[in-house]
Amino acid sequence: MKKIVLAMAAASVVGFSASAQAASTVCVFDLLGKAGDSYKMMEEWALAAKGWGTEINLVPRQDEAVADNDFKAGKCDAVAMTAMRARQYNKFAGSIDSLGGVPNNQIAQRAITYVLDARNAAKMTTNLGGKKYEVAGISPLGSAFIFVRDKNINSVEKAAGKKFA
């Protein structure tokens, strides 16, 4: 699987802004599919949504690009993805996982609290090409680490311009 690995990854649920519907389909990116922590967390959310009068159908995707493409193609009403990929829909929420920007869990919690603060609600909704998108939630996934074969690449500056897979 090809992807850029960050110092901290965050998952964002990005979807069309709407009130409770009879049934919604959410594509969920998790490297482990249905067995992964992110998917399990979304199962708990879907169960809670039943109490709000909404039926949520989760569709696991082990490739984030597939989840995003399914969302763009209308196969999913919403998508759970990393903030890195969610930036195309909302730069404000997608900025919390910048490389080196969140060095520990305490700062991560403060960043998420700030982003989700009611005063920032307007920044959580964007209009792109006549479509309205809204960030529905942000969840930290923990630290991610970059592994390289070249031991001379030991800083962010030395990694600049390099491709990661």
**Residue-level pLDDT at 51:** 94
Against a cut of 0.85, is the pTM above it?
no
**How far is CA 18 from each of CA 27, 47, 51, 54, 60, rounded to the nearest angstrom?**
17, 19, 17, 11, 22
Per-residue pLDDT tens digits for 80-134: 998 888 888 988 777 777 767 777 888 888 888 888 888 988 888 888 888 888 8
Q: Looking at residue 50, which CATH number applies to its domain?
A: 3.40.190.10
Calpha distance 65→1 (Å, rounded): 10
Within a domain: residue 165?
Answer: no
Residue-range definition of the domain harbouring residue 146: 8-159
Question: Tell me: the pLDDT tens digits for 35-72?
Answer: 999 999 999 999 999 999 999 999 999 999 999 999 99
| pLDDT of 4 above 70 | no
d(CA 32, CA 36): 5
Q: By mean pLDDT, which of 30-39, 136-145, 148-157 is the weakest?
A: 136-145
Q: Count other Cβ atoms within 10 Å, centred on residue 39.
A: 21
Total domains in the fold of the chain: 1
- Residue 132 lies inside a defined structural domain of this protein: yes
User: Is residue 31 domain-resident?
Assistant: yes
pLDDT, position 22: 54
pLDDT at 44: 96
Rg (CA), the chain: 16
Condensed to tens digits (0 to 9), the pLDDT of residues 5-26 reads: 222 333 444 444 344 455 799 9
Is 164 inside a domain boundary? Answer: no
Q: Is 2 part of a structural domain of the chain?
A: no
pLDDT score of 9: 36
CB 148 within 8 Å of CB 5? no
Residue 124, classified by CB atoms within 10 Å of its CB into exposed (0-12), middle (13-18) or buried (19+), is buried
In a domain, 119, yes or no: yes
